[in-house]
Amino acid sequence: MTTSSVTGHDQATAVSGADISTPPLTRRLLLVEVCLVFALSLGKSGVFALVNLIASATAPGKLADQAAVLNGSRAPGRPWLDLTLQVLALGFGLVPVALVIYLLVRSGQSLRTLGADTTQPMRDTRRGLALAAAVGGAGLAFYLVTHALGVDLTVVPENLPDVWWRYPVLVVSALQNALLEEVLVVGYLLMRLRQLGVGDRTAVVISAVLRGSYHLYQGLGGFAGNVVMGLVFAACYRRWGRLGPLVIAHTVMDLVAFIGFAMLAGHVSWLPTP
């Protein structure tokens, strides 16, 4: 008579094998996930931006006399170290995007679920360029008005040293900003809010206010302008179901701001400079 036996290792394997099945994501788990993702990324940036605005508002002098530098040197006078730090910051800045992709894959989804793919390159490009022209042009006019009214700091899009890697870093910075903000604040957040039972209009407002929050360091005008931008971008996403046009539009607008400032600052009278 043969007696079957199960070793302690086999028992542990059997038990662990029964325990590792992935449970469905509950509403509570989804809410915790969203909070953690943004606490590690743009939500954290929003908190720091608010503190920075309070610090600027309570400092001596007017807001318009203070500067908010978007792309500055990280090691003045040491260009190779500066470049190393710039590349590291840009790379680590995309980790939240990688985290979102990982969470989507674990849920049986992907970036395609958010409408991020290359199936409509020409249509996405046309829409993105049109959106950049409309929102970017209105945004510049709004900034000039609010800066003149004294509710905005002087935004300095770039203050990098005049070295060979200056413009490549600005290009990558523009793309990084676009990917981070549009994937997280539009695609990922709106999808998760819908799964949490939040209505579409409310979700669009939440997305827009979040976008405005991490621009508070620029002043109240920067906050308001980015809220409006967030409403437009989220509405376009709801209509098109595509992230591509938003990423293209955001990248183009940042490129125009960064490189345009580098070329025009100090040469035209209408562009505010510190």
The answer as to whether 216 is a domain residue is yes
The answer as to whether 146 is a domain residue is yes
Predicted pLDDT at 12: 43
The answer as to whether 19 is a domain residue is no
The two three-digit tokens of residue 84, written as one number: 């190393």
* Interval 193-235: pLDDT, tens: 999 999 999 999 999 999 999 999 999 999 999 999 999 999 9
Domain span at residue 79 reads: 37-264
Place 23 in a pLDDT band, splitting at 50, 70 and 90. low
The answer as to whether 51 is a domain residue is yes
* E strand spans, the chain: 67-69, 154-156
The answer as to whether 169 is a domain residue is yes
User: Which is it for the CA torsion 256, 257, 262, 268, positive or negative?
Assistant: positive
Burial 48-73 (b: 16+ CB within 10 A, else e): ebeeebeebeeeeeebbebebbbbeb
How many separate domains does the chain show?
Answer: 1
Does pLDDT of 262 surpass 60?
yes
